[in-house]
Chains A and B, each alone.
Chain A
Amino acid sequence: MNPSPVPTLRLHFSLALLSAALIAFQLEQMQALAIVQWHHFAYLIISVALLGFGAAGTCISLFQETLLRNLRFLLPLSMFCCAVMMAMALPASQGLVAGFDIGLLFLDPRQSLLLFAGQLIYLMVFFLGALPLGLVFIHYSSRIGSLYCANLIGSGLGAVAVVALMYVLLPQQLPGLTALLPWIAGLLVIQRRNLQLLIAGVMSLQFIIVVIYSPLQLSPSQYKTVNRTLDLPGARISASVPSPYGLVQVVTAPALRHAPGLSLTYGDEVGEAAAAVLNNGDWFGALRTGERKLLDSTIGALPYALGGRDRVLVLEPGTGADIAHALYNGAGRITAVEPHRRAVEAVVEWSDREGFQPFTDPAVDLHFMSPRTWLAVDRQHYDLVTLPAVGSFGGSSGLFALQEQYLLTREAFTEIWQRLGPDGVLRVSAWLDSPARNPLRLAATIAETLDGVGADFSGHVAAVRGWDMITFVVKRTPFSPEEVGLIRGFCERLQFDPLFLPGLDPQERQRHHFSADRDFLDQLDRVVSPRRPEFYRDYEFTVQPVTDNRPFFSQFLRWKSMPHLLRLFGERTTPFLELGYVLVLISFVQMVLSALLLILLPLFRLGLPGSKGVRAWIIPFFSGLGLGYMFFEIVMMHELVLFFGHPIFAAAAVISALLIFSGLGSLCSQRFTAGPTNHARAALLVSLFLLLYFFFLQPVLNAAIGLGMGWKISVFLAVVAPPAFAMGMPFPLGLAKLGGYSRSQAAWAWGINGCVSVVSTGLAAIIAVEFGFAAVMLLACLAYGMAALAGRRTEKGVMIS
């Protein structure tokens, strides 16, 4: 019995709300889980959970008759259940997630179970949300164009809305509100009174209201800096400021001190910091990092040993220590560029209370944007440019291996070089790690940059080593003998060792700080020498400079070194495996295996592709679409981060524009459902677009990067709209073609697309790390090409099942 048709507008609106909720939930949970554990753990949970979409497709394909027969009941019920799960997912998983101990992951099998349980909880949310979407697409396939349009536009608006809400609401306050959307969506699709649905609706609303009014407090892992800091006597969270960049917290504790790179000759008191600023529970910086004498006794004071620096550019100043240091040393004009506005606002507020006001000093000119974008538009020259220290004290176990660090690429260093005045210097430090990685890559980056601008490393670079840090100073003009003498005096006074200095005696390199690793100095020398390609080839870790195409500075893993490292370190190899990257690989394998299962399962009922009327083009066509779309989205986010200078704005703009224009394309596709191969033609059109973009996208964006924001938005829309519009067509056209032939296969196709879309995110990350974002764009083009080729096959038949 076919259920009576739902009024069109309500159905479309319901789908839009549900879609908005799903993407909003995905983004907010990524942030919440990143606070509780780390970003990579959040990725591990959410990336696998998104397979709920694929699972819904498989479920519909297998039980399509039963589900469609009960559509009138199932549609609202599944939306209500989705709403409840959205509200309850974090509370339900909190005990599991907080109890998860990443350090025991490879030791205690129970940790894997906790992880799996967390993934399962979130998978249920996406499954329950995707199920009604899929059912509607299949049942109303004649209106797939407009329905898919509602789905895409709803998703786009949901992404924008949640980013906006992240500025005003704490992470734990978001799920309850988001859960209202699928609940309202369920209400909209109730066609006639049903006691069971009424009860379900009322009960689910009760759950949601409880969560809204009593949101669960997030419990970060005991290993997160926030908890370690709160363990200090008298410590407390004095402020919490939400932002899409992360939850900013100001923690005050009497015993908090911070003095990185402090000389061992410093004998005075290291004063207590007024507060620590944390972002998503991780260290961001400390307030009131000391008086002038303390700062002048750190390794970072090296540039000031050469004399006053009047015009200073501080990139990513964090809590302002470098700004304060420049002010103490008489800087007349300081330009500070920091992307994390909320964190700086928290610092400014607290600094005012403590009388320490680096950001609001009249000499400071503050800009909130990506430093790379600033470098692209700025035309000033500086006496000193400072970068934040590379790496972290004690290492980070590779948790930042997949973090894009545009400030540490060769292109960035070249741009910084262009900003140096005649006697200008760049100062950048690296924490020492074992085995050596960060200092080597940093040295290689400096060396290759100087090669590129025709400058000699030995004359333009000084490097100094403390017990835990190396500081490089790169000068625009060669160091004079007087300056060399000043650097030597600095080292002697503060008991640092010079590592690179014009006219350096090898004996000087280890007078105060020694290393049992005798190869370290040799490695440093080799990596800055013309023979560095051999060193890159031979060293166990990949340390060659990164580029804008592959900006993963903290990714050092080299697969071919694995056997040697395992032999050397045994089970202690794990920390050196760049855990962040390993987790992406683990989740990728998990996703692939699960996706394969979900894709193949319906074949037991449908039959093999090409047999029993099962369309052979389904897998390559819908896989190609899923792969290509996600790849393109990821590349666009990467390109536009630099273009706009605001990563969050860029991500929200890309996601929303892509989805909205795709939705419009989907709406227009309804006019073209008649043609037997129009879906393939649409895919071919997209493939051609992407081929064009592979060659011309970056030059266009580079040319426009210096324009004002209004023009930039125009360029962005001109760049994104055409391919996005075209991308909205192949899927509904293909689904419409299938829907008129076999609903089971249409459901299966939808599930394939969902599974492959999810797998694509992990695959894109791996390809970007290994081959760069240009390769991802090329593969997107090829994926749509594959879909176009597959969709060209025209098969006859009238099966309706």
Chain B
Amino acid sequence: MFLPRKNVDEREMLPKSAGVPNKEITMIGANLFRYKACPGGSCVPSGPAVTLAMLVLLLSLAFPFARPLSALSGSAAHAADQADQYEGKKAEMVASQLAGRGIENREVLEAMAEVQRHLFVPENLRRLAYGDFPLPIGHGQTISQPYIVAFMTEVIRPAPGQRVLEIGTGSGYQAAVLAELVAEVYTIEIVPELAQSANNRLRQLGYANVKTREGDGYYGWPEAGPFDAIVVTAAAEFIPPPLLQQLKEGGLMIIPVGSPFHVQHLMLVNKEKGDRVTTRKLMPVRFVPFRRAE
């Protein structure tokens, strides 16, 4: 603590909490901190201690501004580090969560490796983006677990030239993955905020072959149909008849069934010839009952 030199005026400036007698204060503060008499009677502190204090003050004021400055030179390095980290996590995700669990379609794996999942999750959850679990994106919705996205994508057998409809854009991640694999993706989201943010995100990331629409997915996208495949992420207790009508013969529809944080199973709907529709219940994890010895 810098204490003022004792004189009649300076004594009044002694902090009340100072426990050091005035004599000692005088000796301690003799050369470090002195007051210069100024015109008009005001006192201006000066001396080496004052100079040091001013420097410290200036530096601390400058620090918030220094951060962006350092960001210009250092942030690029920081961003590069982060990007490397995400790439590393993404590669690990593809290897362990996808390929390691039986996702075999090479194009799907490449698509999952290409799409930057961390840009589709809220910023405060980016560190978890490549984890083996779904994450909340607001409005009670989630971005699906990477394995489920890959599984669903693989199951509908995407191919170049195809046209795919997605009901429930959410974050846009599934649409982005599909966009890496097919010619056109049409995606509908009923929640306006989600539709807007997903659209902006997909545009910024350059997914020109994804067309987004804000609206009721019940009616599908009749003017763009029929579709080679339909992904219904916003599942309801029934399959809307218009969606079945907009599915091509031989087309596949995939519906994940479950609550926001876990997928119980997937329903694969196959529209066969003559309007015959069959379904197949798929489990993302094969439940193998423990067989006890007979």
Contact = CB atoms under 8 A, between A and B. Distances in A.
Interface of A: 101-104, 107-108, 221-224, 227-228, 231-233, 254-255, 257-262, 264-270, 393-397, 432-435, 467-468, 495, 512-517, 519, 538-540, 561, 564, 568-572, 574-575
Given A231-B191, A540-B290, A258 B237 contact: yes
Given A233-B190, A516-B280, A516-B282, A394 B257 contact: yes
Interface in B248-289: 257-262, 264-265, 267, 269, 276-283, 285-289
Contacts of B262: 395, 397, 572, 574-575
A102 B140 CA distance: 12
A571 B218 contact: no
Contacts of A222: 136, 138-140
A569 B290 CA distance: 13
Given A397-B259, A538-B289, A468 B267 contact: yes
Given A434-B281, A468-B237, A571 B287 contact: no
Contacts of A260: 237-238
Interface of B: 128, 131-134, 136, 138-140, 142, 145, 190-192, 216, 218, 235-241, 244-245, 257-262, 264-265, 267, 269, 276-283, 285-292
A467 B279 contact: yes
17 contacts: A103-B136, A107-B128, A108-B128, A223-B140, A223-B259, A233-B216, A254-B216, A267-B244, A269-B241, A394-B257, A514-B278, A517-B286, A540-B289, A561-B290, A571-B133, A572-B285, A574-B262
Contact of B257 (A257, A393, A396, A569): A393
Given A394-B235, A397-B261, A467-B267, A227 B140 contact: yes
A259 B238 contact: yes
Given A434-B287, A538-B289, A395 B259 contact: yes
A103 B190 CA distance: 23
Contacts of B238: 257, 259-262, 270
Nearest to B282: A516
A575 B276 CA distance: 34
The B contact surface, by secondary structure, is loop
Given A255-B190, A512-B277, A468 B133 contact: no
A519 B218 CA distance: 34
* Residue in A223, A394, A538, A572 whose Cβ sees the most chain B Cβ within 10 Å: A394
A568 B285 contact: yes
A189 to B, nearest CB: 42
A439 to B, nearest CB: 12
A531 B262 CA distance: 33
A495 B276 CA distance: 9
The A contact surface, by secondary structure, is loop
Contact of B288 (A221, A232, A568): A568
A421 B239 CA distance: 36
Contact of A514 (B260, B279, B283): B279
A495 B285 contact: no
A693 B262 CA distance: 44
Contacts of B132: 570-572
Contacts of B258: 394-395, 575
Contacts of B264: 394-395, 433-434, 575
Contacts of A103: 134, 136, 142, 260-261
A222 B194 CA distance: 14
B279 to A, nearest CB: 4
